């Protein structure tokens, strides 16, 4: 590469030395990826390439499992390239740390190459800053094998806490790291030490309001907590930029957290602080749900994902201060408040697992709304047969508790189950029942806009006029901020109407809009359905290869979100079946396989941008 020999020389040297983690940082663009490809070519090294544009942060746990399997296969490459990793934020860095921590068991000698806008700030990370073309080539390696690891991260404006090692999300800090953290702790005054200990209960990043609510006590009054935090931040915390630009957030590296947790336990204050922590994250979960129900759906999703490490800890009954039974209702409330994150935002498998764990430890009669959510998650996982008994139990619990709002939620869910199974008449009847009782602004669950849209989906193939009428009613029942999830499904329903009217061009336009919106929310089922319908339109327009690309990307999306390889049935299946049948007429088996693989490599986020 002309003018980039210096960067290539540094990169090739690191690859030859089998460095564990190499991060190329620099402005957006393909230059960093091209440098890695050229260095690997010149060294004759094969690599497993994972572009981040295939992914969303919520799919990272499934990706980690997939990468472990692929890297453990006989003859698998010992170089993994993670391209464009900045879009995944702290969760992407955590995936890298986990892979490196466990690599000795499944991929000895693994080297991970990362391209990102900034360094990941992980232990063993070696950073090569790659200036943009306008800045000219200038290799600026940091933490190079020749010079040894440095104590400060790349951005000097975010200095590493004094007397501490570089931050790493590993759960088991080394003895030198712990010793350095102990020295930092000893330099603090008593109030700073007390706050250090209390902050150790946070699992992820946290804001100033959370610190005041969780950490204040008689010995550390709320009025001075933030002043103490400002002093402590430079000693034991790292600033993070994963929240609102107007909110300061911090993260406590594991060595400091381990020291704080031990001291907190020795002081005898741990369970009191943990209880404050749980109460605060009940409020956070309620706030996220209120935002979703009030039309701030993208804000609600962002808040829930940002706070998820601590929300997950708070909804685990086994971490309760006294016993699992004592905090079972708290755990259930958090899980139910986050219903939208599990159902609508692509975290079905995680929500199903967490709710099952929570309900298994609940000592009394299970709440009706928790059973409703359990049934919803079984349906979204592709198991309507497991949803049916939970629907019955939830109905009985709602009658027992006099929870009329839950009975309305169940009517919608029965309609969704019937729609999934292709029983469109039964689905339409249930959706109408739900609409008769559903409040204008429900405090939980589907909105009126979503119910009208669901009724349109039930009618779209049998009664187009009724479907259009339902879509018109859905528009009436919108509010400021709108229900973007319902909007995405409404775009899909309109695409179906245009398809049945013989207007493939307009159908493709609507399906593309639906796909973009579902991807923005994170809705796997919606994105898959929209992409499969769009594939049909591309076949009709004489573009079978690009249609196959979409289907290959859908398969990757589903496999990353559903552990059991969920595939649609009932309402969603005709589009896929028609597309696959048509593709076999246009492409040979080999051409079809290669097109699927290309689509899987590129992903829906890239493919939806194609005209």
The alpha-carbon radius of gyration of the chain (Å, integer) is 26
* 97-107 residue pLDDT tens: 888 888 877 88
| Whole-number Cα distances in Å, 300 to 284, 285, 337, 448 | 10, 9, 11, 18
Exposure on the CB side of residue 558, measured as CA atoms within 13 A: 21
At 90 the pLDDT is 77
Can you tell me whether residue 142 is helix, strand or coil?
strand
* 286-325 residue pLDDT tens: 999 999 998 899 999 989 988 988 999 999 888 877 777 7
* 341-382 residue pLDDT tens: 999 998 888 898 899 989 988 888 999 999 999 999 999 888
**Average pLDDT over the chain, rounded to whole?**
84
Tokens of 107: 């991929």
Question: 269 versus 147: which is more confidently predicted?
Answer: 269
Across the range 530-537, mean pLDDT stands at 92
Backbone angles phi, psi at 128, to 5 degrees: -120, 110
Across the range 167-173, mean pLDDT stands at 44
Contacts of 309 (CB under 8 A, 6+ apart): 203, 204
Pick 175-268's CATH classification: 3.20.20, 1.10.3210, 1.10.3470, 1.10.10: 1.10.10
73 and 107 Cβ atoms separated by less than 8 Å: no
Which of these, 198, 170, 166, 164, lies nearest to 182 by C-alpha position? Answer: 164
Tokens of 465: 């006029």
330 and 278 Cβ atoms separated by less than 8 Å: yes
Contacts of 248 (CB under 8 A, 6+ apart): 207, 208, 239
Question: 185 versus 239: which is more confidently predicted?
Answer: 185
CATH code of 365-482, in short, is 1.25.40
SS (H, E, C) 531-597: HHHHHHHHHHCCCHHHHHHHHHHHHHHHHHHCCCCCCCCHHHHHHHHHHHHHHHHHCCHHHHHHHHH
* Secondary structure element (H or E) that encloses residue 25, with its range: strand 21-25
Tokens of 142: 């940091």
509 and 497 Cβ atoms separated by less than 8 Å: no
Can you tell me whether residue 329 is helix, strand or coil?
helix
Can you tell me whether residue 50 is helix, strand or coil?
strand
Burial of 357 (0-12, 13-18, 19+ CB in 10 A): middle
Contacts of 71 (CB under 8 A, 6+ apart): 48, 77, 80, 103, 106, 107, 110
pLDDT > 70 fraction of the chain, expressed in percent and rounded = 87
Q: Could you tell me the CATH superfamily of domain 5-142?
A: P-loop containing nucleotide triphosphate hydrolases (3.40.50.300)
| 206: β partners | 250
At 402 the pLDDT is 93
pLDDT of 155 above 50: no
Would the pTM of this model clear 0.75, i.e. be above it? no
SS (H, E, C) 66-111: HHHHHHHCCCCCCEEEEECHHHHHHHHHHHHHHHHHHHHHHCCCCE
* 389-410 residue pLDDT tens: 999 999 999 999 999 999 999 9
* 19-46 residue pLDDT tens: 899 999 887 667 888 899 899 989 888 8
* Rounded distance between C-alpha atoms, residue 207 and residue 307, angstroms: 10
Tokens of 217: 């006590």
Report domain extents, the chain.
5-142, 175-268, 365-482, 499-607
Tokens of 488: 């995405």
């Amino acid at each position: 590469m002309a003018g980039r020999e210096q960067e290539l020389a540094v990169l090739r040297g690191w690859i030859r030395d089998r460095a564990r983690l190499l991060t190329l940082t620099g402005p957006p663009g393909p230059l960093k990826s091209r440098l890695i490809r050229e260095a690997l070519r010149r060294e004759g090294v094969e690599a497993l390439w994972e572009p981040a544009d295939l992914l969303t942060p919520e799919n990272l746990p499934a990706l980690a499992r997939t990468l472990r399997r692929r890297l453990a296969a006989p003859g698998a490459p010992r170089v993994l390239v993670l391209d464009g990793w900045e879009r995944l934020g702290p969760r992407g860095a955590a995936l890298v740390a986990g892979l490196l921590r466990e690599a000795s068991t499944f991929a000895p000698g693994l080297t991970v190459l990362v391209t990102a806008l900034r360094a990941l700030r992980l232990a063993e990370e070696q950073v090569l800053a790659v200036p943009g073309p306008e800045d000219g080539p200038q290799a600026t390696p940091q933490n190079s094998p020749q010079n040894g690891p440095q104590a400060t991260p790349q951005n000097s404006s975010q200095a590493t806490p004094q007397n501490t090692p570089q931050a790493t999300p590993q759960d088991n800090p080394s003895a030198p790291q712990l010793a350095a953290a102990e020295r930092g702790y000893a330099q603090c005054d008593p109030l700073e030490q007390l706050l250090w200990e209390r902050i150790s209960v946070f699992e992820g990043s946290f804001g100033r309001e959370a610190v005041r609510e969780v950490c204040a006590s008689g010995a550390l009054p709320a009025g001075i907590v933030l002043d103490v935090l400002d002093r402590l931040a430079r000693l034991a915390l790292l600033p993070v930029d994963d929240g609102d630009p107007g909110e300061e957030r911090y993260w406590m590296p594991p060595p400091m957290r381990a020291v704080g947790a031990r001291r907190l336990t020795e002081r005898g204050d741990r369970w009191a602080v943990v209880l404050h922590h749980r109460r605060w994250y009940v409020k956070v979960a309620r706030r996220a749900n209120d935002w979703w129900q009030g039309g701030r759906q993208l804000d609600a999703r962002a808040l829930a994902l940002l706070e998820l490490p601590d929300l997950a800890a708070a909804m685990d009954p086994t971490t309760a201060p006294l016993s699992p039974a004592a905090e079972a209702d708290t755990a259930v409330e958090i899980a139910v408040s986050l219903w939208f994150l599990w159902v609508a935002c692509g975290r079905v498998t995680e929500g199903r697992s967490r709710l099952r764990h929570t309900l298994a430890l609940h000592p009394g009669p299970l709440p009706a709304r928790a059973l409703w959510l359990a049934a919803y998650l079984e349906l979204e996982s592709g198991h309507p047969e497991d949803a049916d008994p939970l629907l019955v139990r939830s109905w009985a619990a709602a009658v027992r508790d006099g929870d009329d709002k839950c009975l309305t939620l169940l009517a919608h869910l029965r309609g969704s189950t019937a729609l999934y199974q292709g029983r469109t008449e039964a689905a339409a009847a249930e959706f109408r029942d739900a609409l008769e009782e559903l409040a204008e602004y429900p405090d939980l669950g589907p909105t009126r806009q979503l119910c009208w849209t669901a009724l349109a989906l039930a009618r779209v193939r049998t009664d187009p006029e009724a479907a259009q009428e339902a879509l018109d009613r859905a528009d009436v029942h919108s509010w400021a901020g709108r229900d973007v999830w319902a909007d995405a499904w409404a775009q899909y329903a309109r695409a179906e109407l245009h398809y049945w009217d013989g207007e493939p061009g307009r159908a493709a336009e609507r399906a593309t809009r639906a796909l973009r919106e579902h991807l923005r929310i994170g809705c796997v089922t919606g994105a898959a359905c929209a992409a499969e319908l769009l594939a049909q339109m591309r076949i009709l327009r004489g573009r079978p290869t690009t249609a196959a690309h979409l289907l290959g990307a859908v398969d990757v999306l589903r496999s990353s979100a559903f552990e059991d390889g969920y595939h649609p049935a009932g309402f969603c299946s005709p589009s896929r079946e028609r597309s696959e049948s048509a593709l076999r007429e246009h492409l040979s088996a080999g051409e079809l396989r290669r097109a699927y693989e290309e689509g899987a490599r590129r992903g829906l986020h890239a493919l939806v941008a194609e005209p």
